[in-house]
């Protein structure tokens, strides 16, 4: 029986979502719990995608197969009882055998949080402590350049080797709550470091280091060296993953 689960995690103490030899990852913890529930027959989970070390998830999604059909609310409770405080399964449902959490993903939403006010030690791992004012109006102008279909070569990891660097951003917006700025992107997919690199450029615009219309040039140059800093992982949240047919 194939299941799709929605889960949330505090990425602070993990070496990212994705399994790696000798590392503490979210996937390792979840697979260990599911394997125990599956009478110790190894369970592999397939998520919508990885998140890097320190990145958080509000609604990450992953599919997995169990040998037996388990009552969904009992399954959720059993998993959550075995998980550490930093990971929580919010929902589980049954999906068709051909469902794939990565390949079937249609839209993903990420939010990046920046504190433009005084340093706050209570949110050091949850909001990027930029601690200086930013010109939000300029950032709001600049973010429009990213909407639509673009080649995001300038905004991925320099060494990333992909078939295509073309992605579509459907929506991008900036909201403000006291000194916290939240930047949200919804797109058909995101390259590695793409959100954090876009945020890095938006910060350079908001702090008057570069001009709003420099975004156009940086996109066109298709060269990672053009785009500047990668914003820290602590401010990044995977907010949602959407599928066309989850059932």
The contact set with its own copies (CB under 8 A) reads 8-10, 56, 58, 80, 85-88, 90, 118-122, 124-126
Of the pair 131, 216, the CB lying nearest its own copies is at 131
Residue 190 CA to residue 53 CA, distance in Å, equals 16
Helices (H) and strands (E) in the chain, counts: 5, 10
User: What is the Cα gyration radius of the chain?
Assistant: 19
Of the pair 7, 146, the CB lying nearest its own copies is at 7
Of the pair 110, 126, the CB lying nearest its own copies is at 126
**Shortest distance, position 186 Cβ to its own copies, whole Å:** 21
Q: Name the DSSP letter for residue 53.
A: T
Task: Annotate 184-241 with DSSP letters as a single string.
Answer: EEEES---TTHHHHHHHHHHHHHTTSS-TTHHHHHHHHT-GGGS-PPPPGGGEEEEEE
Active site residue 52: yes
Residue from 52, 97, 161, 217 carrying the catalytic annotation: 52
Residue 65 CA to residue 244 CA, distance in Å, equals 20
Of the pair 52, 214, the CB lying nearest its own copies is at 52
**Shortest distance, position 120 Cβ to its own copies, whole Å:** 7
- Listed in sequence order, the residues at least 6 apart from 78 whose beta carbon sits closer than 8 Å to its beta carbon are 37, 70
**Shortest distance, position 124 Cβ to its own copies, whole Å:** 4
- Listed in sequence order, the residues at least 6 apart from 226 whose beta carbon sits closer than 8 Å to its beta carbon are 154, 217, 218
**Shortest distance, position 180 Cβ to its own copies, whole Å:** 14
State the catalytic residues.
Answer: 52
């Amino acid at each position: 029986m194939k299941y799709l689960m929605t889960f949330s995690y505090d990425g602070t103490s993990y070496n990212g979502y994705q399994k790696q030899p000798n590392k503490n990852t979210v996937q390792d913890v979840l697979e260990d719990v599911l394997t125990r529930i599956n009478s110790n027959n190894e369970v592999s989970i397939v998520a919508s995608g990885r998140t890097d070390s320190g990145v958080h998830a509000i609604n990450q999604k992953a599919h997995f197969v169990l040998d037996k059909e388990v009552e969904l609310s009992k399954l959720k409770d059993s998993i959550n009882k075995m998980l550490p405080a930093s990971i929580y399964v919010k929902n589980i449902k049954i999906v068709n055998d051909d469902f794939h959490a990565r390949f079937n993903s249609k839209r993903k939403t990420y939010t990046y949080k920046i504190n433009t006010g005084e340093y706050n030690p209570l949110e050091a791992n949850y909001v990027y402590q930029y601690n200086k004012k930013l010109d939000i109006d300029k950032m709001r102008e600049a973010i429009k350049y990213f909407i639509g279909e673009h080649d995001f070569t300038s905004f991925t990891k320099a060494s990333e080797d992909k078939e295509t660097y073309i992605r579509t951003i459907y929506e991008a917006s900036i909201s403000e709550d006291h000194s916290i700025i939240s930047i949200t992107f919804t797109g058909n997919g995101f390259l590695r470091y793409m959100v954090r690199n876009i945020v890095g450029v938006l910060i350079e615009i908001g702090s008057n280091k570069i001009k709003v219309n420099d975004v156009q040039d940086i996109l066109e140059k298709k060269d990672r060296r053009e785009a500047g800093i990668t914003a820290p992982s602590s401010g990044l949240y995977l907010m949602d993953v959407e599928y066309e047919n989850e059932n």
